[in-house]
Structure 1
Amino acid sequence: MTDPSPTRSHYDVVVVGGGHNGLVAAAYLARAGRSVLVVERLDHTGGAAVSAPAFPGVPTRLSRYSYLVSLMPTRLITELGLDLSLVSRDTASYSPESRDGRDTGLLVESVEGEATRRSFTDLLGAERGRAEHEAWQRFYADVAGLAAVVAPTLMEPLPAEQAVRDQVDAAVWRDLVQRPLGETIEARFSDDLVRGVVGTDALIGTFASMHDPSLAQNRCFLYHLIGNGTGEWRVPVGGMGAVTDALARAAAQAGAEVLTGAGVSAIRTGPAGEAGGGAEVTWHDGTRERTVGATRVLANVSPWVLSILRGAPEEPGLKPEGSQLKINLLLDRLPRLRSGVDPAVAFAGTLHLGESWSALQAAYDDAAAGRLPARLPGEVYCHSLSDGSILGDVPAGTHTLTYFGLHTPARLFEGDDGSRKQLAVERAIASLDEHLAEPLMGCVARDAHGDPCLEAKVPQDVERDLAMPGGHIFHGDLDWPWAPGRALLDTPARRWGVQTDHEAVMVCGSGSRRGGAVSGLGGHSAAMAALEELDGAPAR
Structure 2
Amino acid sequence: MAPGRVTAPAPGRAIIRVLPRAMPATTSPARASYDAVIVGGGHNGLVAAAYLARAGRTVLVLERLGHTGGAAVSSRPFAGVDARLSRYSYLVSLLPRKIVRELGLRFTTRRRTVSSYTPLGDGGLLVGEGRTRASLAALTGGDAEYTAWEEFYGMTRRVAERIFPTLTEPLPAREALRARVDDDTAWRTLFEEPIGVAIEERFRHDLVRGVVLTDALIGTFADAHDPSLVQNRCFLYHVIGGGTGDWDVPVGGMGALTDALAAAARSAGAEIRTGHEATRVETDGTRAEVTFRAEGTDRTVSARQVLVNASPQALAALLGEDPPPAAEGAQLKVNMVLRRLPRLRDRSVDPREAFGGTFHVAEGYGQLATAYREAAAGRPPGAPPSEIYCHSLTDPSILGPELAARGYQTLTLFGLHTPARLFTDDHDAVRAELLAATLAQLDERLAEPLAGCLAVDDEGRPCIEAKTPLDLERELRLPGGHIFHRDLAFPFAAEGAGRWGVATAHPNVLLCGAGAVRGGGVSGVPGHNAAMAALGR
TM (normalized to structure 1)? Answer: 0.93
CA–CA distance in 2 between the matches of 1:529 and 1:418? 43
CA-CA distance at 1:68 after TM superposition: 0.5
Q: Contact (CA 8 Å) 1:3, 1:259: kept in 2 or not? A: no
The aligned residue for residue 22 of structure 2 is: none
Q: Does 1:515 align with 2:514?
A: no
Give the match's secondary structure for 1:323.
coil
The aligned residue for residue 195 of structure 1 is: 209
- The two structures, once aligned, show a CA RMSD in angstroms of 1.2
Q: Does 1:79 align with 2:102?
A: yes
The aligned residue for residue 276 of structure 2 is: 262
One of 358, 363, 370 as aligned partner of 1:355: 363
Q: Contact (CA 8 Å) 1:476, 1:511: kept in 2 or not? A: yes
CA–CA distance in 2 between the matches of 1:282 and 1:511? 22
One of 327, 335, 343 as aligned partner of 2:342: 335
* Counterpart residue type for residue 200 of structure 1: T
The aligned residue for residue 273 of structure 1 is: none
Give the match's secondary structure for 2:27.
coil
* Counterpart residue type for residue 292 of structure 1: V
The aligned residue for residue 344 of structure 1 is: 352
CA-CA distance at 1:124 after TM superposition: 1.2
Give the match's secondary structure for 1:96.
strand
Q: Contact (CA 8 Å) 2:336, 2:454: kept in 1 or not? A: yes
CA-CA distance at 1:313 after TM superposition: 4.9
CA-CA distance at 1:312 after TM superposition: 2.3
Q: Does 1:496 align with 2:500?
A: yes
The aligned residue for residue 144 of structure 2 is: 131
Give the match's secondary structure for 1:197.
helix
Q: Does 1:104 align with 2:127?
A: no
* Equivalence map 1:22-37=2 (5 Å): 22-37=45-60
Q: Does 1:324 align with 2:331?
A: yes
Q: Does 1:56 align with 2:79?
A: yes
The aligned residue for residue 249 of structure 1 is: 263
The aligned residue for residue 303 of structure 1 is: 312
* Counterpart residue type for residue 152 of structure 1: P
Q: Percent identity?
A: 58
* Equivalence map 1:124-163=2 (5 Å): 124-125=140-141, 127=142, 130-163=143-176
Q: Contact (CA 8 Å) 1:87, 1:236: kept in 2 or not? A: yes
CA–CA distance in 2 between the matches of 1:400 and 1:3? 39
The aligned residue for residue 470 of structure 1 is: 480
Q: Contact (CA 8 Å) 1:27, 1:252: kept in 2 or not? A: yes
CA–CA distance in 2 between the matches of 1:419 and 1:43? 30
One of 216, 220, 223 as aligned partner of 1:206: 220
CA-CA distance at 1:500 after TM superposition: 0.5
Structure 2: gaps spanning 5 or more residues: 1-24
One of 200, 203, 214 as aligned partner of 1:186: 200
The aligned residue for residue 531 of structure 1 is: 535
One of 344, 361, 365 as aligned partner of 2:373: 365
Give the match's secondary structure for 1:479.
coil
Structure 1: gaps spanning 5 or more residues: 271-275, 533-537
CA–CA distance in 2 between the matches of 1:229 and 1:164? 15
Q: Contact (CA 8 Å) 1:56, 1:448: kept in 2 or not? A: yes
TM (normalized to structure 2)? Answer: 0.93
1:30-82 Cα offsets, whole Å, 9 max, x none, are 00000000000000000000001010111111111001000000111000000
1:417-474 Cα offsets, whole Å, 9 max, x none, are 4111001100110111001000000000000000000010000100111111111000
Give the match's secondary structure for 2:79.
coil
Q: 1:335 to 1:50 in 2, by over 3 A?
A: same
Give the match's secondary structure for 1:148.
helix
Q: 1:83 to 1:3 in 2, by over 3 A?
A: farther
CA–CA distance in 2 between the matches of 1:222 and 1:346? 25
One of 287, 297, 300 as aligned partner of 1:288: 297
The aligned residue for residue 4 of structure 2 is: none
CA–CA distance in 1 between the matches of 2:449 and 2:212? 28
1:392-418 Cα offsets, whole Å, 9 max, x none, are 132511000001000000000002241
Q: Contact (CA 8 Å) 1:299, 1:509: kept in 2 or not? A: yes
CA–CA distance in 2 between the matches of 1:231 and 1:27? 27
CA-CA distance at 1:4 after TM superposition: 1.6
CA–CA distance in 1 between the matches of 2:81 and 2:342? 20
1:274-308 Cα offsets, whole Å, 9 max, x none, are xx712111011114101100100000000011101
One of 224, 240, 255 as aligned partner of 2:254: 240
CA–CA distance in 2 between the matches of 1:123 and 1:171? 28
Equivalences, count? 509
Q: Contact (CA 8 Å) 2:275, 2:294: kept in 1 or not? A: yes
CA–CA distance in 2 between the matches of 1:308 and 1:152? 33
CA-CA distance at 1:513 after TM superposition: 0.4
Give the match's secondary structure for 1:401.
strand
CA–CA distance in 2 between the matches of 1:417 and 1:51? 25
1:188-231 Cα offsets, whole Å, 9 max, x none, are 10000000000000000100111000000000000011111001
The aligned residue for residue 481 of structure 1 is: 491
Q: Does 1:121 align with 2:125?
A: no
CA–CA distance in 1 between the matches of 2:104 and 2:150? 36
Q: Contact (CA 8 Å) 1:39, 1:260: kept in 2 or not? A: yes
Give the match's secondary structure for 2:321.
coil
* Counterpart residue type for residue 141 of structure 1: G
Give the match's secondary structure for 1:186.
helix
CA–CA distance in 1 between the matches of 2:249 and 2:441? 24
Q: 1:314 to 1:148 in 2, by over 3 A?
A: closer
